[in-house]
């Protein structure tokens, strides 16, 4: 009886608010929300150097079969998106502060349950140090593993991975492409080109897009090389020369993506956009007392990119409510598709609405290059594009780091860049809230900026290349506009 009581007393943890939390309850909630095979919740002390602080953290082993079903390899991003959508249903003190993704199996006790103390002992120091990804391999490699990395194919792949990732240490088979080597969606595109150049054959996308760890990649490429055709396209043979990305973007999108772009406005499409815009304006004026500044800065013709800060689902509609009539009917939106939304994109009705509303849907796992090509074509046709360079919504209200894709589109199209500072949307409906609330919103449009000017500024600021330079300088311009009073 006393022993059982001790066990029950240890089944809860305490966070900074001095409230008891039952970790198994939190684990059950988040496991239902996301593609999670197993997870362990515990407290991490001293985060951010704050002595005595405690935050709720989780170590997650993702359900890779679920990810493979949707051809998704961006593990952290997909899980975060699902967790962010689910968290508002929990009280604040029960929400995760963050999580670590691991492909390793979590430690278990003699009864088959996750050993919470062992997980905490292993991962808490790594969380405080900001280390993400695979744990060091303690046991030696098997004979099969040695054959894999010492083969001609393995050696070439490891060389390409070092070139793309910039990692100086030895790369191991258990390294996650995303978490350990930092190879994101654009990095996988560059990796594909490097591999095709190294092997001088066309490699199927699946061999790279479905690889989670280095071992997956080597096995996938080894299999893909069987019967692979020699390269016939010159674009694949020059991966990192100047103009590499421009050559990729100049390729027309595949038919399914090209057919989703509407450049001429039919009556039904015009009526739909007019109706949605009118309703949008009415809602924002009545409930959010929306105000705009500098709408005259939005070009009436020619290629331009509106780039707003992103803190809320209200951001896109708020911009639409503030645009002058001509731009609002010419503007395309580069729109992130949530992981959970993908099964419904097959609906013909939904595809037609997406087309008529001039949305360019994308995700970070599949068809990202096709979406960039669609956006490039839109700008080449002299249209406007609304692009959220942070990618996902900020959970703090601050302007996050800009994604490389924004810099690539800006430089390779030469389109004017118009910063858009949105204030109040975060207070009205942050990503951590389930429902919106009434709060004034202000949308401020800045003066158009030229990519070449931003590139020079960014290089002076210490950027490593032209794309990063545009991103860091454009971000600073947006922050300055946001702070302007």
Confidence bin at 12 (pLDDT 50/70/90):
low
Confidence bin at 234 (pLDDT 50/70/90):
very low
Are 434 and 298 part of one and the same domain?
A: yes
Nearest to 44 by CA among 83, 66, 81, 16: 16
d(CA 339, CA 120): 29
Domain end marker among 240, 275, 297? 240
d(CA 400, CA 395): 9
Q: Is residue 245 part of a domain?
A: no
**Whether the predicted pLDDT of 239 surpasses 60:** no
Are 168 and 280 part of one and the same domain?
A: no
pLDDT, residue 52, reads 64
Give Cα separations from 439 to 41, 280, 344 (angstroms). 35, 16, 32
DSSP-derived secondary structure letter, 270: H
Given the DSSP bridges, would you call strands 331-336 and 384-387 parallel, antiparallel or unpaired? parallel
Contact in structure between 318 and 375 (CB atoms under 8 Å): no
d(CA 59, CA 43): 11
Are 6 and 103 part of one and the same domain?
A: yes
- As a whole number, mean pLDDT of residues 303-318 equals 97
Domain membership of residue 348 as a residue range: 255-483
pLDDT, residue 18, reads 62
3-state secondary structure 150-203: HCHHHHHHHHHHHHHHCCCCCCCCCCECCCCCCCCHHHHHHHHHHHHHHHCECC
Nearest to 157 by CA among 196, 110, 128: 196
Q: pLDDT tens digits for 73-101?
A: 778 888 988 898 889 889 888 999 899 99
d(CA 20, CA 207): 46
Give Cα separations from 70 to 62, 223, 306, 335 (angstroms). 14, 21, 30, 18
d(CA 393, CA 311): 5
Q: Residue 242: in which H helix or E strand, if any?
A: none
Encoded tokens for 482: 């946001």
Residues in the chain: 485
Please name every residue paired with 108 in a beta bridge, in sequence order, or none if there are none: 114
Token look-up 């430089």 returns 411
Are 224 and 330 part of one and the same domain?
A: no
pLDDT, residue 140, reads 65
Q: pLDDT tens digits for 256-308?
A: 888 889 888 788 888 988 999 999 999 999 999 999 999 999 998 899 999 99
d(CA 482, CA 485): 8
pLDDT, residue 118, reads 93
pLDDT, residue 3, reads 42
Residue with more model confidence, 115 or 143: 115
Are 201 and 154 part of one and the same domain?
A: yes
**Percentage of residues in the chain having pLDDT higher than 90:** 51
Confidence bin at 372 (pLDDT 50/70/90):
very high
Q: Is residue 246 part of a domain?
A: no
pTM as predicted: 0.81
Are 120 and 234 part of one and the same domain?
A: no
- As a whole number, mean pLDDT of residues 100-106 equals 90
Confidence bin at 484 (pLDDT 50/70/90):
confident
265-269, 323-327, 330-334, 342-346 — which is least confidently predicted?
Answer: 342-346
**Whether the predicted pLDDT of 327 surpasses 80:** yes
Q: Is the dihedral of CA 392, 398, 403, 409 positive or negative?
A: positive
Computed on alpha carbons and rounded to an integer, the radius of gyration of the chain in Å comes to: 24
pLDDT, residue 308, reads 98
Q: What is the CATH number of the domain that holds 24?
A: 3.30.300.30
Query: How many folded domains does the chain comprise?
Result: 3
Are 295 and 437 part of one and the same domain?
A: yes
Q: Is residue 247 part of a domain?
A: no
Q: Is residue 459 part of a domain?
A: yes
Mean pLDDT, the chain, as a whole number? 87
Q: Is residue 180 part of a domain?
A: yes
C-beta pairs of 108-116 under 8 Å, 24+ apart in sequence:
114/38, 114/40, 116/23, 116/40, 116/41, 116/42
Q: What is the CATH number of the domain that holds 454?
A: 3.40.1130.10
Q: Is residue 248 part of a domain?
A: no
Encoded tokens for 319: 């911009």
- As a whole number, mean pLDDT of residues 229-240 equals 51
Are 324 and 301 part of one and the same domain?
A: yes
Q: Residue 224: in which H helix or E strand, if any?
A: helix 214-224
**Whether the predicted pLDDT of 364 surpasses 80:** no
d(CA 454, CA 145): 47
pLDDT, residue 457, reads 97
Q: pLDDT tens digits for 17-33?
A: 567 889 999 999 999 98
d(CA 361, CA 371): 7
Q: Is residue 337 part of a domain?
A: yes
Nearest to 186 by CA among 376, 465, 372: 372
Nearest to 84 by CA among 68, 70, 96: 96
Highest mean pLDDT among 2-6, 149-153, 237-241, 349-353: 149-153
- As a whole number, mean pLDDT of residues 108-125 equals 91
pLDDT, residue 71, reads 65
pLDDT, residue 152, reads 93
Number of H-type helices and E-type strands within the chain:
21, 12
Confidence bin at 236 (pLDDT 50/70/90):
very low
Are 318 and 434 part of one and the same domain?
A: yes
């Amino acid at each position: 009886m006393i022993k059982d009581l001790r066990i029950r007393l240890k089944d809860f943890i305490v966070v900074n608010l001095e409230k008891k939390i039952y970790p198994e309850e939190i684990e059950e909630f988040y496991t239902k929300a996301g593609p999670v095979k197993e997870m362990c919740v515990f407290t991490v002390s001293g985060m951010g150097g704050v002595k005595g602080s405690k935050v709720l953290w989780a170590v997650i082993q993702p359900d890779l079969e679920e990810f493979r079903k949707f051809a998704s390899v961006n593990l952290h991003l997909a899980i975060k998106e699902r967790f962010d959508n689910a968290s508002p249903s929990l009280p604040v003190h029960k929400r995760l502060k963050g999580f670590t993704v691991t492909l390793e199996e979590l430690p278990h006790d003699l009864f088959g349950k996750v050993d919470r103390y062992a997980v905490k002992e292993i991962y808490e120091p790594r969380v405080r140090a900001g280390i993400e990804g695979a744990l060091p391999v303690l046991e030696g490699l098997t004979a099969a593993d040695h054959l894999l990395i010492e083969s001609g194919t393995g050696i070439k792949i490891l060389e390409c991975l070092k070139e793309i990732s910039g990692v100086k240490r030895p790369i191991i088979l258990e390294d996650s492409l995303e978490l350990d080597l930092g190879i994101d969606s654009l990095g996988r595109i560059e990796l594909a080109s490097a591999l095709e150049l190294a092997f001088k054959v066309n490699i199927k996308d699946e061999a790279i897009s479905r690889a989670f760890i280095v071992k997956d990649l080597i096995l996938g490429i080894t299999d893909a090389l069987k019967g692979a055709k020699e390269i016939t396209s010159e674009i694949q043979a020059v991966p990192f020369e100047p103009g590499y990305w421009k050559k990729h973007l100049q390729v027309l999108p595949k038919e399914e993506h090209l057919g989703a772009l509407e450049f001429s406005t039919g009556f039904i499409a015009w009526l739909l956009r007019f109706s949605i815009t009118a309703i949008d304006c009415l809602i924002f004026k009545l409930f959010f007392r929306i105000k705009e500044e500098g709408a005259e800065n939005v070009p009436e013709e020619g290629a331009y990119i509106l780039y707003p800060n992103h803190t809320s689902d209200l951001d896109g509609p708020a911009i639409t409510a503030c645009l002058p009539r001509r731009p609002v009917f010419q503007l395309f939106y580069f729109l992130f598709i949530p992981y959970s939304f993908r099964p419904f994109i097959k609906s013909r009705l939904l595809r037609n609405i997406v087309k008529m509303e001039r949305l360019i849907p994308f995700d970070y796992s599949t068809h990202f290059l096709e979406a960039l090509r669609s956006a490039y074509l839109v700008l080449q046709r002299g249209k406007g594009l609304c692009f959220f360079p942070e990618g996902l919504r900020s959970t703090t209200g601050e302007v996050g780091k800009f994604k490389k894709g924004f810099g690539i589109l800006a430089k390779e199209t030469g389109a004017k860049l118009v910063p858009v500072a949105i204030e109040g949307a975060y207070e009205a409906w942050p990503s951590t809230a389930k429902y919106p609330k009434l709060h004034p919103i202000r949308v401020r449009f800045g003066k158009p900026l030229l990519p070449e000017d931003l590139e020079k500024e960014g290089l002076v600021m210490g950027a490593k290349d032209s794309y990063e330079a545009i991103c860091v300088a454009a971000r600073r311009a947006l922050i300055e506009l946001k702070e302007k009073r």
